[in-house]
A and B are shown apart, each in its own frame.
Chain A
Amino acid sequence: SAVISQKPSRDICQRGTSLTIQCQVDSQVTMMFWYRQQPGQSLTLIATANQGSEATYESGFVIDKFPISRPNLTFSTLTVSNMSPEDSSIYLCSVELGRGTGELFFGEGSRLTVL
């Protein structure tokens, strides 16, 4: 597997502000993903973070709201912009190790509460 570190682990944010979540992996990985887990819900894919190019967003998620960077094969950021209480969720970074197994490994998540 891989060691996936996310920062911050949790934060309380004010409405209208933006917050950037960082994801650091201890090895180079081909595929990185960002998921959202709303309270008491399952995981929903936000986007695939592509190294050196724009992220690929799922239906219902847009770049202006969730800009993503992936400057190299071990690091990515997700920004949650102009937050509202509906953005209160756990945001999870996930990686696929390039073995073609389809197995994803997850960071511990970043729990955001928007007041």
Chain B
Amino acid sequence: GQQLNQSPQSMFIQEGEDVSMNCTSSSIFNTWLWYKQDPGEGPVLLIALYKAGELTSNGRLTAQFGITRKDSFLNISASIPSDVGIYFCAGPSNSGYALNFGKGTSLLVTP
């Protein structure tokens, strides 16, 4: 399947700081999605992007679909302790409607 390279692998920040993570693909995507996974839970969809250049916000989260259609980033502004978790980017797989996932960015926020 398509290779998704997500970075950074982990981040350790203080409450109130902004965070940025990104994902690149080996092939062109027509959809980018960002998920968050809390410990012991399944991934939860945060933001879905459908058009190159699209910039979409969900509260303190903002994600952009890169103009080349091979990359996306997720920003979190003014982080809070409940932002702790693993963030995954995802894009279409070769298997119909399934998704391929990046390796995840583990975020730790200290009060």
Q: Does B associate with A?
A: yes
Q: Which residues of B contact A96 (CB under 8 A)?
A: 97
B56 at the interface (CB under 8 A from A): no
B85 at the interface (CB under 8 A from A): no
A48 touches B95 (CB 8 A): yes
A108 touches B95 (CB 8 A): no
A102 touches B48 (CB 8 A): yes
Q: Which listed residue, B50, B99, B103, B104, touches A104 by the CB 8 Å rule?
A: B99
B48 touches A45 (CB 8 A): no
B41 touches A108 (CB 8 A): yes
Nearest A residue to B43, CB-CB: A106
For the complex formed, measure the closest distance between the CB of B103 and the CB atoms of chain A, giving whole angstroms: 5
Identify whether the interface residues of A are mostly helix, strand, loop, or mixed: strand
Given known A-B contacts A103-B33, A104-B45, A106-B44, A45 and B96 have beta carbons under 8 A apart: no
How far is it, in angstroms, between the C-alpha of A105 and the C-alpha of B90 when the chains are bound?
12
Q: Which residues of B contact A111 (CB under 8 A)?
A: 40
A56 at the interface (CB under 8 A from B): yes
How far is it, in angstroms, between the C-alpha of A84 and the C-alpha of B45 when the chains are bound?
32
How far is it, in angstroms, between the C-alpha of A96 and the C-alpha of B31 when the chains are bound?
14
Which residues from chain B sit less than 8 Å from chain A, CB to CB? 1, 31, 33, 40-45, 48, 50, 88, 90, 92-93, 95-104
